[in-house]
Structure 1
Amino acid sequence: MKKILQIVLALSFCQLSIAQLFIPLEDIADDNIGWMKVVKYTQPAKPLNLAGRNYSAKQIRYCEQFIEWMQQSYVPKGCLGDVRIYVNTNPGASYSHKLKKGLPHLYGSYAKLYMFLKKDAKGKLVPQTGLADYWRIEANQLEYISNPVQFISTPDQYYFTMPYYHKNVKRDWSSYEQKANWLGFDKNSTLKNYMHFYQPKNAGAGLQYVVIMTKDNKLPFEPITIGEFFTKAEEHLPVWQKIESRSAELLATARKNLNRLKEKYKNQWNDVAEFRSSENITFYSFVNANEDMRDIFEKDAQTTGWPIYKISAATMAACKTDQPQWLTIRWDAGIQDKSYAAFKHESIMNNFNFDYLYNYFFYPDKVKGQSYKPLNSPLIKEAIVITEASLALKKATADKKVFFFDDFSTTATGKLPINWSSTVNQDGKKAVVTEASGDNIKWLELKGNAVSITNLKNTIPKDFEISFDIAVPQNFTWGAKRLSVELANANTKFAFELKPGFNGKAGFASFANNISGADRVNSNGYEVFGFSNNKVFNKVNTLLRKNGDDVSLFIDGILVAQYLKAIVNDIQFKSLKFIHIGSDSETEKYFISNVKIASFQ
């Protein structure tokens, strides 16, 4: 029995040790982790032959330069970077894979950015999983910025659509506006001379930002007509019947329906063929294309149409030369409420020298003799501006009972508070200090952010008072997310939540607790009178007192909730965090100020 217990304890310790190696994203959010290796190419590039395609030494050298330029422009923060060169993939044996032979001659490089990390046995940061974001620079990329129209494609001619968000999309794509404008991507001055857009899921590689460069700013893609589409579809019906082993009866039905569509669109034969974004043409698209079904070219006022394109033989041949026909710079949106993704996005937009890349390939005389330089150094840190401390802060600093105090008086407006960390919200922005109340009092604005104090060097006193002012703007949305105030250590969490009422009615408070041995929380919560959304600026003072095992919550000095046997077993906490998990409108935000932790004796 003793031996079994020793084994169980050993396994438990092993599991705990392994678990401790994994690092939460928020713990490394502001760490300049950098690259696995900063690459310096000192040997001449060599040509490459792969899957029947020949890549010249010059083309491979371009890929090396892409890597050098990426690493000069961006130092990964909150993630670990690796780099690779790549070319067209080797098509598989299936017919669908063989169609990839019709793709243009491609070569490029990527930065692979691992956001989920752990420490190895030597304490070195390494990828925890293979999950990663990518940043790519490519010559003649087509496959991953487009959707294939496989039904009419051949190994010699690739047909495709290129869906993306733009200002003229219809209702079916309008929900992507916020993502397309993330952190000013749509209006960024470094991108204004180039075609740039956001592609959501099911468009190209999906969930990515794309910049495309051509010499004349015109893509070398040719739209096809409705007539060409039907002609090619008619040719391919028996091909796909054979591939999919469909019956002769189904082929006859498909041909009958195709002939009906040809008759319907005979007066639009020379119009550009446009699909709906969700359209995926298959053999059964024609089998089922009876008069009662919405056909492949039918759209309404709410539906965006996407032209079908092809690439000419001349352009395909030109792609094999050492002159790229177009350049693509694209990067994954990533986890957009995490700091690493916002930093990556802003670094690429604001540091990478898009104009140099463009001129290097399309107007080389403009940069002759010039080495690549990023627009901004990726290592520049914003200077911290410290403003004068308020009398309240000076007084609190001198008070031995005060464990922590911040009224944000030493932080400049528009900046993240000194000694605080913040997640980014869905807009890619961190919490910042503002003078929202209009009376020179500084507040920390949380709009879908989580903030925590970074300079708590000791555990919070066993018996304590945590107090702060909390406010919301007028017309704060009823039903919007609560503000959670969380105390934690390595194993336990205790939190209370606040939310304003509406039209002068009482707000709401509740507790959350995972401490073993504590009494259960009141699932009905508590009314908080005086905290509503009807005033221009709705402010109350909040105080949480822990005395022994018991917790009391006061709003503007009035007791609103008592929770007996809440924090038991002499548990002490090491962190304090304010969490607003999401905001769906401009009025859905919280302001906090005069945050104080003091001992209660």
Structure 2
Amino acid sequence: MKPHLIAILLLSSFHAMAQTPDSRGIYVGNSLEDIDLGWMNSIVVKQPSKPFAQHGWSYTAAQTDASQKIGSWIQQTYSQLGLLGELKLSLLAPEPSYAESSKSYDSNEAEKNNRNALPNTYGAFAKFHQCISKTATKKFWPTPGNHCYMGLDIMANNVQLISKQVIGLSYTDDYYCIMPRYEPGIKGRFEKEWMPAALEYRNFNKSPNLANYEHYILPAKSINNNSHTYVVIMTRDRKPLPFEQVTMGELISRIETQFPLLHKMAVNNGLTTRMPRVVDDAKRGFQLFKNKFKDQLSKYVYCPDADLSIDLLSFSQIEEGKDISWIRTETVTTGKNGWVENNFPLLRLKKGVKQALATGAPQWIVFKIDGPLNASYTGNVQMMDNFVSRFNYDYVYRYFFGNDKVIEPYKPLGAVTENGQKNNSPAVTLSAAAKKNASDKSILFFEDFSGTAVGTPPQSWTTQRSEVSGEQVSVTNVEKVDGNWLQLRRTATAKNFPQNINGDFELSYDLLVRKGDVPWGTPGIDMQLKFTGGTGEKSITLNVSPGDMNRADAAGWVIINGLTTCKVSSYYSLSGFTGSKPLNRATISLQRKGESVVVLCNNSKIYECASGFPAAAILKGLSFYVNEKNLYYLSNIQIRKL
């Protein structure tokens, strides 16, 4: 648990909201997604910063002031919908571990004790809570017992956020660690199919705002087996972090020095009782270890995992002639079965760093944010947008590391609207078709998205963000095609859909697919009509796919679901909807005449049934759905009386 220096806090007030909690006082689902919940607290500094001392750690007034500055910059930058912010200032001053002579001194206590090798570390951290409850006194508060939040840390001279301590090697005089990072093309246990998309989330890997600073992903399992996190690092004069790689000779020497302490921890945690021969086996295994690497003493040490266990148990399990899989002397290892593994270097904090930073200014700053719990949740998207695009990293660099004193106040970069768009949307003009259809009483519904600015989501539709990229469904132009088109992944549902459509009608819509937008074998685009009346709720769905993009003669197809009173084949061919041309377009229609249903593609009849509709069926809703892997363009959606 982090130690914190907490500034004077002032509880903020919240306005009453229309959303209501359940009987337990808990807001469920995404009921608060579009509400600005603000901060649980605010930093109020009423007097100059003072030095701080606790548990043998001492911080200067300048260092505590830096912590307050960082906290205030976070609160000026981060606004979020559907998330409740909680901010605390933080200075590393952990409670002392048990004494080494104590019978309770185990690896957990050693991990605490070894932090004394770290330099002064100070800054601020925030939790952005998604699980929210309403109480009688506090109104909105994190739901007790829940830990669904995104964490943000900005810390000067920090090591722990970006490293995994090697407990068995570290001590109060030296800090050994692994600093894992995801690189595109990495091989081995961190080669996850979802990591490239995570790297691109909200433009993290390509943002010009981060271009001057090292930034990368800590892969999943790297830190305490949590999900991946995003890291930005800035250093004074762009120098590398003060770590050096460890050679095999240094590793062996360090293990020999630490062996008595490893023995004591094995006794304290009961290992020697459960395994009476573990000490002798560990000595034998360590000798095998030294023999194996005796000709590689000058080589650097690497580890295929973020966790490196240096303890008696690890050495006791070493056997003659068998591979020692947890230590390497190469950056890349290829196993006998062809398994390729990228390895991370074993590092040591350079001598003198702790002493040099005891009273001085920061030498590096670490910015870290948790990967989103839900990449499509509005608040999480805005959190990442703030981290990537809105936080003023250049100001922070100039403030701490610049040659000239910064006197102007901090300002975040360009403000973002609720939908993540900058306030520079062009004016829009309805198309001639939209104006004409608005006055045509035979047209019950029409949407060509001409009333929506390009690059923004349509306000008359309920849409979902991408679960991969966090991108909002938006309107766009397609090269060589007239009009506006809804660029659709996931769901779009018409908000103000006309009710009580109970006569004959024709629904039609235009689909557009560019070659390669819909990989072969992936699901098509669903158009769902919802009905009520007579026998209750009913839905009819058309699932439409283009033909194989690699075959010029391949037709598309439609799958029809929901016609329980009709005979329906597994699919119907759409010769007019290929996937091989640069642009592939089709107009899909569904006609209701009495109880009959007809499906058409480009005015050619595809399917017909005389008993598709109950006489009392009333059309009440329209929605479209696209799988994350595909991209469809949708426009000219029309419902016309027949």
Q: Could you say whether these structures have the same fold, taking a TM-score greater than 0.5 normalized by the shorter chain as the test?
A: yes
Asked whether 1:377 is paired with 2:410, we answer no
Q: Extract unaligned runs of 5+ from structure 1.
A: 1-14, 513-517
Cα distance in 1 between the residues matched to 2:592 and 2:133: 36
Distance apart, 1:305 and its partner CA:
1.9
SS of 1:35's partner is coil
Worse-superposed segment, 235-244 or 564-573 = 564-573
Write the distance in 2 (CA, Å) between the matches of 1:567 and 1:253: 79
Q: CA deviation at 1:66?
A: 1.5
Residue 381 of structure 2 is aligned to residue 321 of structure 1: no
The equivalent of 1:582 in structure 2 is: 628
Equivalent residue letter for 2:293:
Y
Alignment of 1:91-102 (within 5 A): 95-98=106-109, 99-102=111-114
**3-state SS, counterpart of residue 221 of structure 2:** coil
After superposition, give the CA deviation of every residue in 1:354-404 in whole Å (9 maximum; x if it has no partner).
1221222233x5233222122323568423323332222112111234343
- In structure 1, C-alpha distance between the alignment counterparts of 2:290 and 2:437, rounded to whole Å: 82
Q: Which amino acid aligns with 2:333?
A: D
Q: Which deviations, in whole Å up to 9, do the C-alpha atoms of 1:412-431 show, x marking residues without a partner?
A: 44443453454332233223
1:29–1:480 Cα change, 3 Å: farther
When structure 1 is superposed on structure 2, of 217-226 and 30-39 the one drifting more is: 30-39
Q: Structure 1: how far apart are the matches of 2:79 and 2:546?
A: 42
Which residue does 1:238 correspond to in 2?
Answer: 263
Compare the two structures and name the one with the higher helix fraction.
Answer: 1
Query: 1:210 corresponds to which letter in structure 2?
Result: V
Pick from 329, 341, 347 the counterpart of residue 386 of structure 2: 347
Distance change (3 Å), C-alpha of 1:58 and 1:185:
same
1:75 maps to which residue?
79
Asked whether the equivalents of residues 90 and 124 of structure 2 are also in contact (C-alpha less than 8 Å), the reply is yes
Name the stretch that deviates more: 244-253 or 187-196: 244-253
Question: For residue 429 of structure 2, what is the aligned residue in structure 1?
Answer: 388
Whether 1:108 aligns to 2:138 is: no
- Match of 1:409? 450
How many percent identity over aligned positions?
25
1:150-161 matched pairs, under 5 angstroms: 150-161=167-178
Question: SS in structure 2 opposite 1:259?
Answer: helix
The answer as to 2:348 corresponding to 1:310 is: yes
Counterpart Cα distance in 2 of 1:458 and 1:377: 36
Q: Which residue does the alignment assign to 2:337? A: none
Q: Is 1:397 the equivalent of 2:438?
A: yes
Letter in 2 for 1:77: L
Helix, strand or coil for the counterpart of 2:333?
coil
How does the TM-score come out when normalised to structure 2?
0.78
Looking at structure 2, the residues matched to 21 and 566 of structure 1 have their Cα atoms a distance apart, in angstroms, of: 42
CA contact (8 A) 1:108 1:137 kept: yes
Q: Describe the superposition over 1:553-580 as per-residue Cα deviations: whole angstroms up to 9, x where unpaired.
A: 443442536596778986763x543222
Q: Secondary structure at the match of 1:303?
A: strand
- Displacement of 1:219 in angstroms is 0.4
1:560 paired to 2:607: yes
Residue in 2 aligned with 1:9? none
1:96: how far off? 2.6
In the alignment, what sits opposite 1:6?
A: none
TM-score normalized with structure 1 length: 0.82
Instruction: Name structure 2 gaps, 5 residues minimum.
Output: 1-19, 99-104, 335-339
Task: Label 1:123 to 1:408 Cα distance change in 2 as closer, same or farther (>3 A).
Answer: farther
Between 1:543-552 and 1:129-138, the stretch displaced more is: 543-552
Is the partner of 2:354 in helix, strand or coil? helix
Which residue does the alignment assign to 1:508? 558
One-letter amino acid matched to 2:232:
V
2:318 is matched with 289
Q: Are 2:234 and 1:213 equivalent residues in the alignment?
A: yes
Change (3 A) 1:595 1:534: same
Question: How much does 1:444 deviate?
Answer: 1.7
Mapped partners of 2:581, 2:405: distance in 1: 59
Q: C-alpha distance in 1, partners of 2:386/2:500?
A: 37
1:10-33 alpha-carbon deviations (Å, 9 max, x no partner): xxxxx99549973543x6555544
Q: What amino acid is aligned across from residue 221 of structure 2 in structure 1?
A: N
Map of 1:11 onto structure 2: none
Aligned length: 572
Distance 1:371 1:123, change over 3 A: closer
Report the AA paired with residue 177 of structure 1: P
Q: Within 5 Å, which residues of 2 pair with 1:465-504?
A: 465-475=506-516, 476-486=518-528, 494=539, 496=541, 497-502=543-548, 503=551, 504=554
**Equivalent pair of 1:550/1:566 in contact (CA under 8 Å):** yes
CA distance in structure 1 between the aligned counterparts of 2:610 and 2:131, rounded to whole angstroms: 38
1:355 partner amino acid: D
